[in-house]
Amino acid sequence: MSTKAAKRHKFRVGKMTFLDYFLLVLLTVLSLMIIIPFWNVIMISFATQKEYADHPLLMWPKQPTLDAYRALFQDGRLLGGFLNTFKILLVGLPLSLFLTSTMAYGLSRNKFPGKKGIFFIVLFTMIFNGGIVPLYLVMKSLHLTGSLWSVILVGSFSAFNMILMMNYFQGLPESLMESARLDGAGEWKILFSIVLPLAAPIMATITLFYGVSFWNGWYDAMIFLRKAEQLPLQNVLRTIIVESTTNVSNAASVDALAKSGFSTGMKMASVFVSMLPIMCFFPLLQKHFAKGVLTGAIKT
Amino acid sequence: MKPAAIGPDKKINTPSKPRSWFLEIWKHRMTYTLLLPGLIWLFVFAYMPMGGLSLAFKHYKANMGIWGSPWVGWENFKYVFRDPTFIEAIWRTLYVNIIKFLISFPFPILLALLLNELRMGKMKKVFQTVFTFPQFLSWIIVSGIVINVLSYDGLLNSALSMLGLSTINFLGSERMFLPMLILTDIWKSTGWGAIIFLAAISGIDQDQYESAQIDGASRMQQIFKITLPNILPTVTVMFILNVGGLMSAGFDQIFNLANAATQNVSQVLDVYIYRITFQSSTDFSFSTAVSLFRSLVNMILLLSADRIAKMMGGDGLFR
**pLDDT tens, A213-239?**
999 999 999 999 988 899 999 999 998
- Whether residues B9 and A184 touch (CB distance < 8 A) is answered with yes
Is the Cβ–Cβ distance between B226 and B112 less than 8 Å?
no
Q: B246 to chain A nearest CA, in Å?
A: 14
The set of residues, in sequence order, having a beta carbon less than 8 Å from that of B292 and lying 6+ positions away, is A131, B53, B56
When pLDDT is averaged across residues A181-199 and rounded to a whole number, the result is 91
Q: Is B52 on the interface with A (CB under 8 A)?
A: yes
pLDDT score, position A295: 59
Chain A positions touching B295 (Cβ under 8 A) are 128-131
- Which neighbouring-strand residues pair with B71? B58
- Whether residues B38 and A103 touch (CB distance < 8 A) is answered with yes
Q: Does the pLDDT of residue A165 top 50, yes or no?
A: yes
pLDDT score, position B145: 95
pLDDT score, position A8: 43
**Residue with the larger pLDDT of the pair A59 and B93:** B93
When pLDDT is averaged across residues B171-176 and rounded to a whole number, the result is 90
**pLDDT tens, B71-106?**
999 999 999 999 999 999 999 999 999 999 999 999
pLDDT score, position B316: 60
Phi, psi of B305 (to 5 degrees): -60, -45
- Whether residues B143 and A44 touch (CB distance < 8 A) is answered with no
Q: Does the pLDDT of residue B2 top 50, yes or no?
A: no
If one counts every other C-beta atom within 10 angstroms of the C-beta of residue B4, the result is 18
Q: Please state, for a pLDDT cut of 90, what percent of chain A lies above it.
A: 52
Q: Is B229 on the interface with A (CB under 8 A)?
A: no
- Whether residues B299 and A183 touch (CB distance < 8 A) is answered with no
Q: Measuring CA to CA, how many Å separate A62 from each of A55, A269, B127? A: 11, 17, 29
| Cα gap A292→A206, rounded to integer Å | 9
pLDDT score, position A247: 43
| Cα gap A7→A12, rounded to integer Å | 9
Nearest to B299 among A128, A142, A237 (CB): A128
**pLDDT tens, B108-129?**
999 999 999 988 888 888 999 9
| Cα gap B319→B302, rounded to integer Å | 13
Q: Show the domain range for B89.
A: 82-130+189-311
Q: A44 to chain B nearest CA, in Å?
A: 10
**pLDDT tens, B247-257?**
888 899 999 99
**pLDDT tens, B138-151?**
999 999 999 999 98
Long-range contacts formed by A164-167: CB under 8 A, 24+ apart: A164/A202, A164/A205, A164/A206, A164/A292, A164/A295, A164/A296, A165/A100, A165/A101, A165/A104, A165/A199, A165/A202, A165/A206, A166/A103, A166/A104, A166/A105, A166/A107, A166/A108, A167/A108, A167/A295
Q: Which of A241-250, B2-11, B22-31 has the highest mean pLDDT?
A: B22-31
When pLDDT is averaged across residues A15-26 and rounded to a whole number, the result is 86
pLDDT score, position A14: 56
Which range (A176-180, A189-193, A287-291) has the least confidence?
Answer: A287-291
In-domain check, residue B247? yes
Domain ranges of chain A: 76-243
pLDDT score, position B318: 56
* Superfamily of domain A76-243 in the CATH hierarchy: MetI-like (1.10.3720.10)
Q: Is B215 on the interface with A (CB under 8 A)?
A: no
Q: B96 to chain A nearest CA, in Å?
A: 21
Helix, strand, or coil here: A14? coil
| Averaged pLDDT of chain B | 87
Mutate to test the interface with B, among A13, A248, A279, A280 (most CBs of B within 10 A): A248
| Averaged pLDDT of chain A | 85
Q: What DSSP letter does each residue of B226-271 carry, written as one string? A: IIHHHHHHHHHHHHHHHHHTTTTTTHHHHHHH--GGGTTTT--HHH
**What's the number of domains chain B is made of?**
1
In-domain check, residue B290? yes
| Cα gap B294→B175, rounded to integer Å | 27
Is the Cβ–Cβ distance between B42 and A121 less than 8 Å?
yes
- Whether residues B48 and A237 touch (CB distance < 8 A) is answered with no
Q: Is B222 on the interface with A (CB under 8 A)?
A: no
**pLDDT tens, B262-284?**
888 999 999 999 999 888 777 89
Q: Cα angle vertex A76, ends A71, A80, to 5°?
A: 145
pLDDT score, position B17: 53
pLDDT score, position B9: 46
| Cα gap A292→B199, rounded to integer Å | 12
Q: A243 to chain B nearest CA, in Å?
A: 8
| Cα gap B172→B296, rounded to integer Å | 34
Is the Cβ–Cβ distance between B230 and B109 less than 8 Å?
no
Q: Does the pLDDT of residue B7 top 70, yes or no?
A: no
Q: Is B41 on the interface with A (CB under 8 A)?
A: yes
**pLDDT tens, A98-156?**
999 999 999 998 788 899 999 999 999 998 999 899 999 999 999 999 999 999 999 99
- Whether residues B10 and A100 touch (CB distance < 8 A) is answered with no
Is the Cβ–Cβ distance between A157 and A99 less than 8 Å?
yes
In-domain check, residue B266? yes
pLDDT score, position B283: 86
pLDDT score, position B109: 96
Which CATH number belongs to the domain containing residue B227 in this structure? 1.10.3720.10
In-domain check, residue B175? no
pLDDT band at A6; cut points 50, 70, 90: very low
When pLDDT is averaged across residues B208-234 and rounded to a whole number, the result is 91
Chain B positions touching A153 (Cβ under 8 A) are 41, 45
Q: What DSSP letter does each residue of A112-129 carry, written as one string? A: -TTHHHHHHHHHHHHH--
A-B Cβ pairs (cutoff 8 Å, strict):
311
Closest residue of B to A253, CA-based? B152
The set of residues, in sequence order, having a beta carbon less than 8 Å from that of B242 and lying 6+ positions away, is B101, B105, B249
